[in-house]
A = this chain, B = another copy of it.
């Protein structure tokens, strides 16, 4: 949520189109030229970039190549008013992921941005020696798949994301089960026990610590 888009577009009219199309859904930064763009890009990486090929100070193709040299994976969408389809081919060859001809519909734009973000979204998160692979609903310990069941995955990824903080049983019920805490049951304990076994099998001992009377925490 709240992805950051960089847009390189010199036409103010088109800039407004972008703004009205996206402002409700994404954070936008619009640059009129390549120089401004790269200044910002050096400080902060966006989640997706839209490039108009025809720019005043810089060749759009050059921008694409330069982006790709610094980052292999940020999705780039090429936009061009050229009806000549070859310009798109050139853009794609330079490393763009998708293309769109002006004039484009707002719907199409949103769809392509969404698709681009989905494709590339960084769905792998590191927590110490653990990797949460949201793409495949897996958690790895030192590159070894823990082979968790769906419930275990949901439970442990939540615990990992808590960064060492102690998590109450009530909170776990609410976050993982979506329920209110109903009362006495050993359900959580069971899953914790199972997790501990799988962690131990993978060589990770003492990862989940019980906080008596409160809940559990994961050593960060």
Contacts and interface: CB of A to CB of B under 8 A. Distances in A.
Count this chain's copies in the assembly: 2
B136 A165 contact: yes
A212 B138 CA distance: 12
Contact of A149 (B85, B135, B213): B213
A118 B136 contact: no
Given A135-B165, A135-B166, A214 B85 contact: no
Per DSSP, chain A at the interface is loop
A8 to B, nearest CB: 22
Contacts of A150: 212-214
Given A135-B165, A136-B166, A86 B214 contact: no
Interface in A85-100: 85-86, 88-89, 92-93
A137 B171 CA distance: 14
A40 interface: no
Interface of A: 1, 85-86, 88-89, 92-93, 114-115, 117-119, 121-123, 135-137, 149-150, 163-166, 211-214, 217
